């Protein structure tokens, strides 16, 4: 999977409306350095509607992101299904091209990778814990009882006797 796989060339549109489908897996997160996640199984559908001077993109993401629980560090699956809309304006003004959501009228290629990645991150719950996962189970934490631990040195045992 390459970053160029997410390029949409609006000049080559056959119709005013076109649909692009992407199947995402662990290679998707590997494209971004220091990604927040490592693995997923997601289907992304991008509906593109080209009108005079604007391009409207509707994103629909469905599937599962695999991560680990923040409490018990068990592997969990979090199901997400966000939908979002983005409008891009076509312009030949060089000042506007430096800003977001503007695209050159002569070179109409747009990469949707960053938008998809952002939508996945936004759709994830704030707390990535077992309770928010697909299985909705509770975290099973095991605590060690410090009273059962034997002291490493006999001198500590003599000091405990001073307290008594």
Q: Give the pair of three-digit tokens for residue 151.
A: 């002291």
Give 132: exposed, middle or buried? Use CB within 10 Å, 0-12, 13-18, 19+.
middle
Mean pLDDT, range 133-151, rounded to an integer: 70
DSSP state string for 19-53: EEEEEE-HHHHHTSTT-S--EEEEEEEEEEEEETT
Radius of gyration of the chain (CA): 25
Q: Mind listing the pLDDT tens digit for each residue in 38-86?
A: 889 999 999 999 888 888 999 999 999 999 988 888 889 999 999 999 9
DSSP state of 150: P
**pTM exceeds cut of 0.75:** yes
Average predicted confidence (pLDDT) for the chain = 84
Parse the chain into domains and list their residue ranges: 3-138
pLDDT value of position 22? 94
Q: Give the pair of three-digit tokens for residue 17.
A: 């409306």
Higher pLDDT, 153 or 35: 35
């Amino acid at each position: 999977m390459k970053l160029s796989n997410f390029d949409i060339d609006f000049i080559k549109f056959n119709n005013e409306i076109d649909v692009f489908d992407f199947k995402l897996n662990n290679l998707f997160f590997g494209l971004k350095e220091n990604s927040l996640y490592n693995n997923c199984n997601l289907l992304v559908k991008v509906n593109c509607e080209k009108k005079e001077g604007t391009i409207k993109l509707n994103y629909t993401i469905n599937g599962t992101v695999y991560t680990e629980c923040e409490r018990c560090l068990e592997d969990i699956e979090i199901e997400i299904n966000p939908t979002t809309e983005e409008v891009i304006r076509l312009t030949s003004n060089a000042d506007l091209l430096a800003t977001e959501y503007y695209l050159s009228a002569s070179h109409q290629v747009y990469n949707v990778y960053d938008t998809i990645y952002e939508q996945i991150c936004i759709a994830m719950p704030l707390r990535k814990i077992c309770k928010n996962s697909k299985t909705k189970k509770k975290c099973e934490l095991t605590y060690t009882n410090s009273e059962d631990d034997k002291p490493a040195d006999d001198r500590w045992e003599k000091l405990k006797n001073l307290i008594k």
